[in-house]
Amino acid sequence: DIQMTQSPSTLSASVGDRVTFTCRASQSISSWLAWYQQTPGKAPKVLIYKASSLQSGVPSRFSGSGSGTEFTLTISSLQPDDFATYYCQQYDSFPWTFGQGTKVEIK
Amino acid sequence: QLQLQESGPGLVKPSETLFLTCTVSGGSIHSSSYDWGWIRQPPGKGLEWIGSVYSSGSTYYNSSLKSRVTISVDTSKNQLSLKLSSVTAADTAVYFCARTGILCSSGCFDYWGQGTLVTVSS
């Protein structure tokens, strides 16, 4: 199985900050990576698919990059609604696997 | 607007079989453009893909659960179902149904149900 490792596990930031976090795959997954945002008690919401494509309706402050084994999600200016947990998911090879998540907390 | 709604027992006894359904409204589950899956999340933990069923009829399961899980589609009821046998406390989780499709290359999930908590306990 492909292991997905996210860093950091927790990130403390303030409204307006630019934040970046990383997802690493244990083997190459080309660009078959999605990013999700999850708030407590809610289902995950897809933000980015195919590593860098912005899902319809998602604010343009979110961007994704990377290919192969290293990927990043950037929020250009953190907003109050963005304090959440973010997961990456690979869909290159079965079984699809998720990272353990990065929690963005208010500083 | 597409909506997915999971339903099923909130409490299951150890060694029994868990059965959940996901009712799709606002769209047809029988579409060549979309496929469907189940994902779960133990309390306070991360996400685990359980398996997916494709419009071709193919199913793929997480190898960690493969011998215990069955996913199927009932087009007459516009429902997706999950059957997980021989459950243990480790199967306690929020279970989500979700849709994938062309945009996600049938791999990531663009619509999710709200999730249903299943607790395994005697």
Question: For position A52, what pLDDT does the model report?
Answer: 97
Tokens of B109: 């999930």
pLDDT on residue B61:
96
Which residues are within 8 A (CB) of B67 and not within 5 positions of it... i.e. 6 or more apart? none
Contacts of B103 in chain A (CB under 8 A): 49, 55
Please give the pLDDT value at position B56.
Answer: 87
pLDDT at B118: 98
Any chain A CB within 8 A of the CB of B89?
no
Q: What is the pLDDT of residue A10?
A: 97
Average pLDDT taken over every residue of chain A: 97
CB < 8 Å to A101, chain B: 46-47
Residue A59 to residue A47: CA distance in whole angstroms: 9
Q: Where does the pLDDT of residue A74 fall: very low under 50, low under 70, confident under 90, or very high at 90 and above?
A: very high
Query: Cβ contact (<8 Å) for B109 and A44?
Result: yes
Residue A36: predicted pLDDT: 98
* Residue A14: predicted pLDDT: 96
More confident residue, B102 or A87: A87
Per-residue pLDDT, B113: 98
pLDDT on residue B30? 87
Phi, psi (rounded to 5 degrees) for A53: -90, 125
C-alpha separations of B28 from A55, B38, B110 in Å = 22, 17, 15
Residues of chain B with pLDDT under 70: none
A16 contacts: CB under 8 Å, gap ≥ 6 = A77, A78
DSSP B8: -
Q: List, for residues A9-61, the tens digit of each pLDDT value.
A: 999 999 999 999 999 999 999 999 999 999 999 999 999 999 999 999 999 99
- With tokens 């999710």, the residue in question is B112
Tokens representing A31?
């660009």
The tokens for B111 are 């619509």
pLDDT value, residue A80: 95
Please give the full DSSP string across B92-112, using - where no structure is assigned.
Answer: -EEEEEEEEETTTTTTS-SEE
Kindly state whether B115 is in contact with chain A, defined as any CB-CB distance less than 8 angstroms.
yes
User: φ, ψ for residue B89 (rounded to 5)?
Assistant: -60, -30
Question: Minimal CA–CA distance to B100: which of B63, B70, B69, B71?
Answer: B71
